[in-house]
Amino acid sequence: MAKLNINFRKYHRALLSEVLPFELPIIFNNDGFFLLHEHQDKKSLIHDLYKKIFCDHHVISQSIPYSYTVYKTENSVRHISIPHPRIQIQACQFLEKYDSLLIKLLTKGQETSLRYPHKISSTVYENNRLEKKYKFKSGQIIENNDDKTTQYYVSYFSYNYSRIYQYYNSNEFLEFEKKFKHLWITDIANCFDSIYTHSISWSITKNRAYAKKHTSNASIFNEFDKLMQRSNYNETNGIIIGWEISRIFSEVILQEIDRKVISLLEEKNLSFGNDSIFKRYVDDYFIYGNDVYKLEVIHSVLSSILHDFKLNLNENKFTKLTRPFVTPQSIAVENLFSILDNFKKEIYEERKFFNSNLKMKALIRNIKIIAQSQEANYSNIINLAVNKICNDSLQALLSKKNQFKDRNNLLNSILLYMKVAAYLISIAPHVRACNKFLLLCQQSLEFSSEEDFDRVDDFKNEIFLLLKELSKSNKNNNKNYLNNLNFLVGLTILQDDYKLSGNDIKNIFSNEGFASLNYLEIISIIFYIKNDSEYLEIHRAVQKNIQSKLEKITKESLLENTHDILLVLDCLSCPYLDIALRKEIATKLNVFFKFTLKNIQNMSESDFAIFNHNWFVNWDDFSFLRTLVKQQLYSKNKMVYTFSAE
């Protein structure tokens, strides 16, 4: 393990790690936005535009986040939000002012909390086989002005347990199992949607009446409250889901709830830590004890205090365990990993797969049986299966390839795994699993192009068909919305050899066609079709859609509406849109923000290149490998909204 020092004064690095959700289109990031902030002292038109839109002293009273859905379970979706870039910068400024105080305050909650920021993270990277082969270093930060400095800022803070599976595998969990006979597991129902932002002031004063009389106090908590409100249309009920800032905000409130619970338990002569104890991972509670009655008291007190904060325990998610503390989920995971390990041993022998179809069907059947058994979470088991299948295949590419005398057998093995993974994704399309599948596709194509395979064209065609099918799966179901877009973009790794038809692209989207496209759909389509003449009709339809949206955009909407500002800036920089449309956007921005540029309409295309800076989409220098590896690193350091084990 190697370490590099970072500049702790570079607070805006949080733009790369804390202010965006993990569940994003693979072509979307804050790299370009970060670099503008990094070099904002440079005098140029694009920096002038950046400062006028995002860095003036005008404090917006509210903003509208850009929200979309991702798959949660087979019966539900999760609403994820991107906060307005102005709000993102304000969040960085908040951290600059209060990060040390936050750490000081939140480390006091370690008695109960399993996930809290305990220090500002240092730069840590480790070499694994994948990264070593392709010369990628996890977490490396190079302190210079090169845009590669943006690649591996994975977390602003360090956490004791960044992922919940780490707790299940910890010595701490084992020690509690030795000490206590019973474990009850529950969580808060719709926690982030239910949080009342003003309740954070109750956390600092510890007295609601006092807080209501002193709401004007310019404290960290008042500022935090205002930041969260501004990020969500000035709503006080509910905070947006996705960015790390919401988790920190909720942690402040939930730690105060924990303290109130402990205090009330002591009044009831229940000794916390001896008779019983509870731990909390974000909004998940683990209640330990030897006396069922005392567990019931803790559960009752916890429910009562939560209600005071307008929160409620989830009645539909309540597990009671007696030693040994093994959940149905844990049993299912062990069984799943056992059959996948056995399958891996069998499949990666030197042999021809005349019965590969039967093997695939048998493996899928066994996975589904495990996922349906023992009251396990079906969708999470499927998610774990996809991740392990992809990890095993990536490992085979890097470490087992030389064991195959007939190298085509390796490709056959990888393809078999891919078909299994693709089928499972069509059932439970978790974002993390889908991204891991795209990484496997990219690495497999890279590998096949370097080696002398007889069936490389057939192999590429199989991957094309898999991605094509996944890109249009459940197109009218919001559950798979984001993944459809990512699989569409993922098809570009095949370059020009394999293309979707115009009708194929139309079939990915709703029956309404291209008339009602939103920002994420627009950037994904344009990224795929670029300015290819084969898609001229689609290109015109998308530009017509952009044009209609542009007519409705005002200065106020750009300052408040996340969708509008993302759309305008990424269309402005997009080299695949007609120059006339981009000039119209630049002209409108000049009217709104007066960045002292005249005669935009008369500028030559080469002169107009000053607007080619990438904001949130890297149009002309996108690396699938770099992006997908970074996502894997990020998911290991952040809470992702799926159960995970590796």
**What pLDDT is attached to residue 452?**
66
Hey, which residues does 289 pair with through a beta bridge?
182, 276
**What pLDDT is attached to residue 124?**
41
The pLDDT of 383-388, averaged and rounded, is: 92
Residue 397 has pLDDT above 60, yes or no: yes
DSSP state of 555: H
Q: Look at 431-435, 452-456, 510-514 and tell me which has the smallest mean pLDDT.
A: 510-514
Q: Are 87 and 231 in contact (CB under 8 A)?
A: yes
What torsion do the CA atoms of 119, 123, 128, 132 make, to the nearest 10 degrees? 170
Helix locations, 373-406, DSSP H: 378-395
Residue 3 has pLDDT above 60, yes or no: no
**What pLDDT is attached to residue 642?**
43
DSSP state of 216: T
> Residue 483: enclosing H or E segment and its boundaries?
helix 481-490
What Cα–Cα distance (Å) separates residue 194 from each residue in 18, 173, 283, 306?
A: 21, 29, 12, 11
**What pLDDT is attached to residue 40?**
58
Residue 428 has pLDDT above 50, yes or no: yes
CA atoms within 13 A on the CB side of 299: 21
Enumerate residues 6+ apart whose C-beta is below 8 A from 604: none
519: closest CA among 546, 543, 493?
546
Q: Look at 28-32, 142-146, 385-389, 482-486 and tell me which has the smallest mean pLDDT.
A: 142-146
DSSP state of 395: H
Hey, which residues does 285 pair with through a beta bridge?
186, 280
Question: Is the preceding omega at residue 25 within 30 degrees of 0, hence cis?
Answer: no
Q: pLDDT tens for residues 222-249?
A: 899 999 999 999 999 999 999 999 999 9
305: closest CA among 202, 415, 173, 391?
202
561 in helix, strand or coil? strand
Residue 567 identity:
L
One DSSP character per residue, 407-431 reads HHHHHHHHHHHHHHHHHHHHHS--H
The pLDDT of 163-176, averaged and rounded, is: 90
Q: Which of 73 and 555 is assigned the larger pLDDT?
A: 555
413: closest CA among 371, 363, 367?
363
**What pLDDT is attached to residue 638?**
56
484: closest CA among 534, 521, 458, 455?
521
Residue 551 CA, chain-centre distance (Å), reads 32
d(CA 444, CA 446): 5
Q: Look at 18-22, 323-327, 465-469, 470-474 and tell me which has the smallest mean pLDDT.
A: 470-474
% of the chain with per-residue pLDDT over 90:
48
One DSSP character per residue, 589-616 reads HHHHH--S---GGG--TTGGGGG---SS
Residue 449 has pLDDT above 60, yes or no: yes
Residue 152 identity:
Y
Residue 285 identity:
Y
Helix orientation angle between 356-372 and 378-395, rounded to the nearest 10 degrees: 140
d(CA 44, CA 51): 11
Residue 147 has pLDDT above 60, yes or no: no
Q: Which of 563 and 52 is assigned the larger pLDDT?
A: 563
- Which tokens belong to 165? 């599976």
> Residue 47: enclosing H or E segment and its boundaries?
helix 45-50
What Cα–Cα distance (Å) separates residue 451 from each residue in 345, 401, 522?
A: 23, 10, 37
Residue 203 identity:
S
**What pLDDT is attached to residue 257?**
96
- Which tokens belong to 423? 């089928």
d(CA 611, CA 36): 13
One DSSP character per residue, 225-283 reads HHHHHHTTTT-SB---SSSHHHHHHHHHHHHHHHHHHHHHHHHTT--BTTTEEEEEETT
- Let me know how long the chain is: 646
pLDDT band at 129 (very low <50, low <70, confident <90, very high): very low
295: closest CA among 276, 279, 313, 310?
276
> Residue 549: enclosing H or E segment and its boundaries?
helix 536-552
The pLDDT of 412-429, averaged and rounded, is: 91
What Cα–Cα distance (Å) separates residue 48 from each residue in 44, 105, 154, 593?
A: 6, 38, 29, 9
Q: Please count the other Cβ atoms lying within 10 Å of the Cβ belonging to residue 551.
A: 9
Q: pLDDT tens for residues 508-550?
A: 876 567 878 899 999 999 999 999 999 999 999 999 999 999 9
pLDDT band at 374 (very low <50, low <70, confident <90, very high): low
What Cα–Cα distance (Å) separates residue 592 from each residue in 105, 565, 598?
A: 42, 13, 13
Task: Write down the mean pLDDT value for the chain.
Answer: 83
What torsion do the CA atoms of 339, 442, 485, 387 make, to the nearest 10 degrees? 20
- Which tokens belong to 241? 């889901």
pLDDT band at 5 (very low <50, low <70, confident <90, very high): very low
State pTM to two decimals: 0.89
DSSP state of 113: B
Q: Which of 55 and 504 is assigned the larger pLDDT?
A: 504
87: closest CA among 249, 252, 311?
249
Q: Look at 32-41, 53-62, 84-93, 128-137 and tell me which has the smallest mean pLDDT.
A: 128-137
**What pLDDT is attached to residue 141?**
29
**What pLDDT is attached to residue 571?**
97
Enumerate residues 6+ apart whose C-beta is below 8 A from 190: none
pLDDT band at 621 (very low <50, low <70, confident <90, very high): confident
522: closest CA among 589, 581, 574, 470?
574
**What pLDDT is attached to residue 57?**
60
d(CA 506, CA 472): 9
Q: Please count the other Cβ atoms lying within 10 Å of the Cβ belonging to residue 449.
A: 10
d(CA 614, CA 621): 10
436: closest CA among 215, 156, 635, 297?
635
Q: Look at 301-305, 492-496, 569-573 and tell me which has the smallest mean pLDDT.
A: 492-496
d(CA 646, CA 644): 7
What Cα–Cα distance (Å) separates residue 483 from each residue in 240, 244, 446, 478, 562?
A: 21, 22, 22, 10, 21
pLDDT band at 61 (very low <50, low <70, confident <90, very high): confident
Q: Are 130 and 391 in contact (CB under 8 A)?
A: no
Q: Are 73 and 41 in contact (CB under 8 A)?
A: no
Q: pLDDT tens for residues 582-604?
A: 999 999 999 998 876 778 888 88
Find which of 208-217, 266-275, 368-377 is predicted with most confidence, using mean pLDDT: 266-275
Q: pLDDT tens for residues 398-410?
A: 765 555 556 677 7
Hey, which residues does 321 pair with through a beta bridge?
183
Q: Are 18 and 96 in contact (CB under 8 A)?
A: no
The pLDDT of 411-416, averaged and rounded, is: 86
Q: Are 34 and 615 in contact (CB under 8 A)?
A: no
pLDDT band at 162 (very low <50, low <70, confident <90, very high): confident
d(CA 23, CA 485): 12
**What pLDDT is attached to residue 218?**
47
| Max CA distance (Å), the chain | 81
